Structures are given as structure tokens and as C-alpha cells.
Structure 1
């Protein structure tokens, strides 16, 4: 029997990608306390924190073939933070809607709107971390609706340079969203983000 406790995060991640349940169990053993602390620090609710960590690990196992993990610790910490955010957004939405006695159709519609808003905020966060030219080109194109030729003139690069930076920006965004399970939501809301 292998001693998974001696494996590096990178080795465990590679084994997880192959569906190795023992590697998954070791990841859980290694990180659940740290993730619980992160969840509690953000939620100040012990039961919610446990549910959040539970959801993160279930999601990890369900999506192990789809996610690209470069840094396991950072990936899990980020997953917890976004799960905390979504958890409290859902709780707040439920409370608000219960007080206002909305019909079911309205609840579904509000959930879609909230997902679109959260997705936009998440994309904005990804864009903020991009290299400067990439960020500028994306902002001018998507937020201000400028044409490639206008962007090229504005920041003094070629139109090909604009296209390359846009392609790079979209690749970064798609990669980050895929890593965090947003691909289905993108399909629903992409027209709202990139009109």
C-alpha cells in the first residue's frame, strides 16, 4: 500500500486527475482543517463553514477530470472563498425573496440575474490580474466598445497586437472560469458579458 502522506501536492493532483480516490482522500486529510478555518474566517458560522468545505471537496471530486490545478493549496483556498460568497448570496436572496413573497418564476429569474452579476464580478477580478496591455485592450474592447483600429491607435500597438492581446485575455478568462466550474453559467450568460 502506498503512503500518500509522503506525496507532494503535485503528485496528489496528478493522481487525482486519474481518478485515484486514495489521493483525493489524502488531499482531504491534508487540507480540510485549513479550508475550514478559511471558511469560518469568512463566514463566522461554524455550521456554514463545514457545509462550504464539504461542498468544495464534493465539487473537487465531481470535476477532477475537468479542472486544471497548478497550485493545490491556492486552488482550494480560492474555491472556498467563492463558495462562501455564493453561499451567502443565496442565503441573502432566499431571505429577501421570502420577505417579498415572490412567485417561483421570479425566484428563478432573480437567481439567473445574480449568477450573471457574480460572473461579471468574477471576470472583472480575472481581468484586473492580467498583464497591463492585455487588461487595457480587453477593457477598451469589451467595456468601451472600441474597434481594434481605435485601440491600436490609443495604446500605440498594431492591430495584430490588439487581436493577440484580446485572444490572450479571452483564453485566460476561459481557463479561469473552467477551473472554477463556470463553463455552464457562461453558456447561459455570455451574451450579457460580451455584447
Structure 2
């Protein structure tokens, strides 16, 4: 379910977008403890968790004019999870680089694939929470490659019903991704490719 900004959040984000340090401090003070705990839960390393939190808030400030945030808490939580994921991806690549004869460009190519896997898992998590019909139509279409008529026959609904549910599923996914900031964290092309 997509959450919407409160009037106060809208005001704070407008101030932040215009470079207001007090608005930034207000967001930081409200969320830092929860986000630090989240980073620690993923890393079990206090120093690393603090570094990740610093990185998330630094990016929030640096990109304040570019982000389209529709729910502050969800956006920041997703940013922390992605920062943790990114840290471990870089560590894995660094370790593999030290112990192998692969060239650097192999790892650069691998980054895109890791992003695709992460985003695919994120999408799967949202799909699991969709209403049954909506979820089944999306899975039949995207995972099994069935056409609308085949899905309609399998589910006992009209082709228009299939198309309506598929449209709804994609809308839910895009709204959630926009809410969680994934249209900024990932290239829009990658998102569209995974939903196509």
C-alpha cells in the first residue's frame, strides 16, 4: 500500500529541497536512531553501520533537488538497505579481484547483474503482497511468459480482466519503487526492463 506525505513532511521536504539546514537536521534527528539500528541489524558492525548512515544522509543532502520522495521513512530505509547491499557487493568484488586473474571490466559488467538481481528480489517482495488475482496475472505474464488469452483461459476470467490486473500490478510496482526511491537508486531503464 502506497503511503502519502503528511502536510508537515511536504513542508520539510520543500525546505530541504531549497537547502534549508534546519529541515535536514529535523529529518536526521527524527530518523537516525531507527536507521542506525537497521544498518547494524544488517552488518552487526557498529562502525560500518555508522558509515552507512553517514553515506545515506550525505546522499540525501547532495541529491535533495533530484529526489522525488513520497514517504520519508520508506525512502531512507530503502537507501540504508541499498547502501548495505552496495557495501557487501564492493567487498565481494574486491576480495575476488585479489584472488583471481579476472580483468576489472568483468567486475564492472557484474555490477549491472547484481543490481538486476537486487531489484528482481525487491519486485518479488512487492508482488507477493499484491491481491491474489493481480499477483497471479503478473506471475503468469512475467515469469511463465503466457499471453493474455492464455492467462484468461487458465484463470477463468476475461482477457480485459487480465489486462486490467496486469496494468494494476505494474502501477503498484512503479508507485512502490517511486516511494522507496528506487527510480533514483537504479537506472529507470533497468526498472522498465524488469517490468516489461
Q: Name the structure 2 match of 1:96.
A: 96
Structure 2 residue runs of 5 or longer lacking an equivalent are none
Aligned length: 185
Change (3 A) 1:165 1:148: same
Structure 1: distance between partners of 2:137 and 2:64 = 32
Specify which structure has the bigger relative contact order, considering alpha-carbon pairs within 8 angstroms and separated by 6 or more residues: 2
Matches within 5 A, 1:34-113: 34-61=34-61, 62-63=63-64, 66-70=67-71, 72-113=72-113
Change (3 A) 1:24 1:136: same
Structure 2: distance between partners of 1:32 and 1:64 = 21
Which stretch of the first structure deviates more once superposed, 157-166 or 174-183?
174-183
Alignment RMSD:
2.4
Structure 2: distance between partners of 1:131 and 1:158 = 17
Which stretch of the first structure deviates more once superposed, 133-142 or 171-180?
171-180
Q: Name the structure 1 match of 2:9.
A: 13
Q: What SS is found at the alignment partner of 1:100?
A: coil
Structure 2: distance between partners of 1:165 and 1:80 = 32
Deviation digits for residues 110-163 of structure 1 (CA, Å, limit 9, x no counterpart): 111111111211111121121111111000001001010111121122111111
2:140 counterpart of 1:144: no
Change (3 A) 1:159 1:76: same
Matches within 5 A, 1:117-128: 117-128=117-128
Structure 2: distance between partners of 1:12 and 1:57 = 20
Q: Name the structure 2 match of 1:161.
A: 161
Q: Name the structure 2 match of 1:23.
A: 23
Deviation digits for residues 49-88 of structure 1 (CA, Å, limit 9, x no counterpart): 1121122223333156533333x33443343233222321
Change (3 A) 1:50 1:57: same
Q: Name the structure 2 match of 1:180.
A: 181
Structure 2: distance between partners of 1:64 and 1:176 = 20
Structure 2: distance between partners of 1:55 and 1:182 = 18
| TM-score for the superposition, normalised by structure 1 | 0.82
